[in-house]
Chains A and B, each alone.
Chain A
Amino acid sequence: EVQLVESGGGLVQPGGSLRLSCAASGFTLSNYEMNWVRQAPGRGLEWLLYIDSSSRTTSYADSVKGRFSISRDNAERSVYLQMNSLRVEDTAVYYCARVLWGGHMDLWGKGTTVIVSS
């Protein structure tokens, strides 16, 4: 089955760190660019980070620049989101999504929940 599965979410204190993983199956991850998108409770979708298929190019939303980073291991069929200096406002469901030419995202994981609270 073609799918993305996020993991690594949980409860973390403000200022803490967390690493999310996105495992791909049913397709060749190395052929695709990937995004991380989040959704705060009751809010809309917010794009966060992008990585191309070979990790040469990444881009970040201003809201996470300097705190979050994206990486991938195509051999492990996984994409990662390293989150540092977490804030209460980073509380959200975090999704990874496959990016196609033209920027649309055709495959999404079910998401993993991050709660930042003391």
Chain B
Amino acid sequence: DIQMTQSPSTLSASVGDRVTITCRASQRISSYLAWYQQKPGKAPKLLIYQASSLESGVPSRFSGYGSGTEFTLTISSLQPDDFAIYYCQHYDPYLWMFGQGTKVEIK
């Protein structure tokens, strides 16, 4: 089974910082890699799909990159609304795998 591992588990940052979250797969995967943001008590929100495509309505400070086994989510200038937990998710036909999540907290 493919395992998705995110790093770091927790990231402390300040408003305006550039932050990068990494998602590593245990074996080479397709680019069916998505990123979600989740705030406390809320449903996940799709940010990025197919590794680098920005979901409609998502601010352009969010970007995704990667292929093979390593994928990244970058927030170019962290805003107060961005403090949340971020999950990567891979799709292998008819199976879905999430990373364990990265909490972005205020430094």
Write the residues of chain A forming the contact surface with B, with a CB cutoff of 8 angstroms: 35, 37, 44-47, 50, 57, 59, 61, 95, 97, 100, 102-106, 108-111
Name 28 A/B residue pairs within 8 A (Cβ), A-sorted: A44-B98, A44-B101, A45-B38, A45-B44, A45-B87, A47-B95, A47-B98, A57-B94, A61-B95, A95-B44, A102-B34, A102-B49, A102-B50, A102-B91, A103-B32, A103-B34, A103-B91, A104-B32, A104-B34, A104-B46, A104-B49, A104-B91, A105-B34, A105-B44, A105-B46, A106-B49, A109-B43, A111-B43
- Nearest residue, chain B, Cβ from A105: B46
The A contact surface, by secondary structure, is: strand
Q: Which residues of A are found within 8 Å of B46, using beta-carbon distances?
A: 104-106
The B contact surface, by secondary structure, is: strand
A47 and B100 contact, CB distance less than 8 A: no
B98 and A100 contact, CB distance less than 8 A: no
Interface size class of B (residues with CB under 8 A): 20 to 34
- Nearest residue, chain B, Cβ from A96: B43
A45 and B95 contact, CB distance less than 8 A: no
B34 and A47 contact, CB distance less than 8 A: no
- Bound-state CA distance A52–B44 (Å) is 21
B43 and A50 contact, CB distance less than 8 A: no
Q: Which residues of B are found within 8 Å of A108, using beta-carbon distances?
A: 43-45
Shortest distance between the CB of B47 and any CB in chain A (Å): 10
- Bound-state CA distance A13–B88 (Å) is 33
B94 and A104 contact, CB distance less than 8 A: no
A44 and B55 contact, CB distance less than 8 A: no
Q: Which residues of B are found within 8 Å of A35, using beta-carbon distances?
A: 96
- Nearest residue, chain A, Cβ from B93: A103
Q: Does B20 contact A (CB under 8 A)?
A: no
- Bound-state CA distance A102–B46 (Å) is 13
B50 and A104 contact, CB distance less than 8 A: yes
Contacts of B36-84 to chain A: CB distance below 8 A: 36, 38, 42-46, 49-50, 55
Q: Which residues of B are found within 8 Å of A59, using beta-carbon distances?
A: 94-95
